[in-house]
Structure 1
Amino acid sequence: MNVSRRPTLTALALAGLVVLSYVAWSVFQAPGKAPVANGAAAPAAVAVETAVVTALDVNEDTNAIGSLKANESVILRPEVSGKVVRIGFRDGALVRRGELLIGLDAAIPAAELAQAQASLALARSTHQRNQELLAKKFISPQALDASAAALKVQEAAVQLAQARLSKLQLKAPFDGVVGLRDVSLGSYIKEGEALINLEDIRSLRVDFRLAETEVSRLRVGQELTLFSDALPDESFVAQVDAINPQIDPDGRSIAVRARLDNRAGKLRPGMFVRVRLNFGQRSGVLMIPEAAIEAGNPPSLFRVVDGKAEKVDVRLGVRRNGQVEILSGVQAGDVVVTAGQLKLRPGTPVQPVSAQP
């Protein structure tokens, strides 16, 4: 039986070899199919979001935060102590320059002034009489000189009494609006005590700071726009009035002061405002979404060339509303990747997809 099985096994082995040979020949000779080297598969395309580099007209402006101040502002304080005997204003009222606001008890200084004026009148009369006597040679020139000196002394005494009396009257140094008083008739106030504030708000100042890089574009007289949260539906126009000649070495910024007309009285000193200063318009500015930029030194981005990712270094300019200017590295019409960069390497195949809502 062993002898009869050997031809059968031999035949089966030969048949298997023939089948294997045919299969191998079919694989390598099949049209349109090539062997895959080392078993590696072609890389799949990475889905990314993209944007087209666009040339736009861009307003050259800068923004800052400012604080409003009155054109003129003062807190009235007495130079001498005394009792309040007169209040000549209503809280929050408009007053004129020279108008009496607060009067202190002036009984003693007024009496001193009257005494000085009487002495002056006597000295003037004496000097005039001495002039007549000298003309008749009844007195010596030295006597006339003495009466002239006495006259000057009495004139000075009157001026001194008048100055002391004036210090008891607090008058408005300029037209403006008074604040809220904390003093009443009969109050005894001390020298230097704060009594009332006076503000000229017909025009206002706004102080703000800009980066030192803006210095070359600043000019006195430039127009700027102000926005206040207190009046969200309105804007106000001001002009640059002064520019500090010194740069702040700590913040690398420069102080700027502007003025605006406030005769309508809508704004108040102390308000915070947003300042927008316009330097003009530039055309053909290349803009892309900020999301396309990868931070670094220098910054970079991926652009799509022939369906593959290509990494390029770029130089950035101004930023506006989520967009950034590209000064070099790309051209108008280039397609750049805005989402999915973390999956990319130079040369990676990409498949642009629509942005997610």
Structure 2
Amino acid sequence: MFCIESDVNWKPSIAALLSVGLLTACTQETPDRGGGQREARALPVQAVEVHPRDLSRVVTISNSVEPLRTIRLAARTEGVLTEVLVEEGDTVAEDQILARIDVREQQAELARARARLHERQATFDRFEQLRERNYVDLASYESARAELEVAATEVELWETRVEFGTVTSSIDGTVVSRYIEPGEAISRHAALFSIADLSSLVVRLGVSELDVGNLRVGDAVVVNVDAVGDRNPLSGVIRRIFPAAEIESRLITVEVGLPEALGAGVRPGFLARARLLVEQRANVLAVPAGSVAESDGEFFVMVVNGDDRLERRVIEPGVIRGAWREILSGLGEGDRVVSANPLEMTAGERVRVVDLMS
């Protein structure tokens, strides 16, 4: 209760006293409805609930689809092509005739060799009869037999050269390239055809030496080929991992088989993008990378406890994958962690979660 004496100017005094009373009221906590004091307002925060996540690392590598096996047929003799019986796209079987080369000269040599063989055979037969009667010495007999053997090998030689005039496929497959036309003169070892086994398609990928160590033959691979549209994705499997890296690029070739490719309409030369799982980290606890702070050599996060107060929790962090960081220890599934700026917060501070991400 304020006392105001009658001999002073009371109007200014009342105004001053009212100002002091208002200032005092502003510095005191406002009583709550129950007669107690209301606590300081809670700090609004965004939090994330800790759950297992897949932080596996996947790399995407592109390359062209290739047949598993492609051979280049070359001419085994020189001459002029008299016939070319197949073209690109034709399916061929093993030992099927693809082209013929003019070998009339070789055929003439073969006829001469056969005649010489007939002559040497007759000579040897006569020497053999004489030898049985001891009319010729052993040296003459052996000489006749040697000449017979030489004549026989001459026949075999020219038969082989005549056979070289017929070009046949060495595998079942499809002609993917034809390099010749009828009437052309070709040299020995000149390329004639490329034949591919389209029943087995692969994509060969250059993988970093840092990533290839976690890959294994038989691992599943997801492959997308733009050319086949909605038939994607295609399943692949690692067939083999090459034993050495390329000298210039330091990349190691990983061959991925595409068992579904042919049925999906994939052809050699189509561009394929393969997703390789180079590091498996499935079902690991993780928090936003920005929620982890370091102080005095310790990593920690701010956890919202059951009383809606902040708790400083020391953790052991793992790898970072994009926006997430693996937690090796210190947190459990279901914990609520402040998602950002832990260094700006104080343990024990009362908070209000305005956005809880799961």
TM-score where L is the length of structure 1: 0.71
Given residue 286 of structure 1, which amino acid in structure 2 is its aligned partner?
Answer: L
CA distance in 1, matches of 2:12, 2:254: 95
Find the residue that maps to 1:286 and give its secondary structure. strand
Deviation of the 1:223 alpha carbon: 4.3
Deviation of the 1:203 alpha carbon: 1.5
Deviation of the 1:314 alpha carbon: 5.6
Q: Corresponding residue for 2:94?
A: 97
Q: Corresponding residue for 2:270?
A: 271
CA distance in 2, matches of 1:25, 1:62: 69
Deviation of the 1:247 alpha carbon: 5.8
Match of 1:241 among 239, 242, 263: 239
Q: Corresponding residue for 1:257?
A: 255
Range with bigger deviation, 255-264 or 141-150: 255-264
Find the residue that maps to 1:202 and give its secondary structure. coil
Deviation of the 1:171 alpha carbon: 1.7
CA distance in 1, matches of 2:169, 2:289: 56
Given residue 88 of structure 1, which amino acid in structure 2 is its aligned partner?
Answer: L
Deviation of the 1:251 alpha carbon: 7.0
Q: Corresponding residue for 1:86?
A: 83
Match of 2:107 among 88, 98, 110: 110
Match of 1:54 among 51, 65, 89: 51
Q: Corresponding residue for 1:345?
A: 344
Deviation of the 1:141 alpha carbon: 1.0
Change (3 A) 1:212 1:332: farther
Query: CA-to-partner distance for each residue in 1:10-58, whole Å, 9 max, x for gaps?
Result: x658x69965874576367659727xxxxxxxx99776543211135x5
Change (3 A) 1:30 1:242: closer
Query: CA-to-partner distance for each residue in 1:166-208, whole Å, 9 max, x for gaps?
Result: 3333221111100243532212234444332110111123323
Given residue 110 of structure 2, which amino acid in structure 1 is its aligned partner?
Answer: L
Deviation of the 1:276 alpha carbon: 4.7
Range with bigger deviation, 104-113 or 79-88: 79-88
CA distance in 2, matches of 1:312, 1:19: 58
Match of 2:21 among 20, 23, 26: 26
Contact 1:53 1:334 in 2 (8 A): yes
Deviation of the 1:146 alpha carbon: 0.8
Deviation of the 1:86 alpha carbon: 0.8
Deviation of the 1:137 alpha carbon: 1.1
The percentage of counterpart residues that share the same residue type is: 25
CA distance in 1, matches of 2:263, 2:270: 16
CA distance in 2, matches of 1:309, 1:98: 79
CA distance in 1, matches of 2:177, 2:255: 28
Change (3 A) 1:192 1:33: same
Given residue 336 of structure 2, which amino acid in structure 1 is its aligned partner?
Answer: V
CA distance in 1, matches of 2:41, 2:245: 56
CA distance in 1, matches of 2:325, 2:26: 52
Structure 2 unaligned blocks of 5 or more: 1-6, 30-39
Given residue 28 of structure 2, which amino acid in structure 1 is its aligned partner?
Answer: K
Find the residue that maps to 2:83 and give its secondary structure. strand
Number of residue-to-residue matches in the alignment = 333
Find the residue that maps to 1:179 and give its secondary structure. strand
Change (3 A) 1:188 1:31: closer
Q: Corresponding residue for 1:65?
A: 61
Change (3 A) 1:293 1:88: farther
Contact 1:301 1:336 in 2 (8 A): no
CA distance in 1, matches of 2:249, 2:299: 28
TM-score where L is the length of structure 2: 0.71
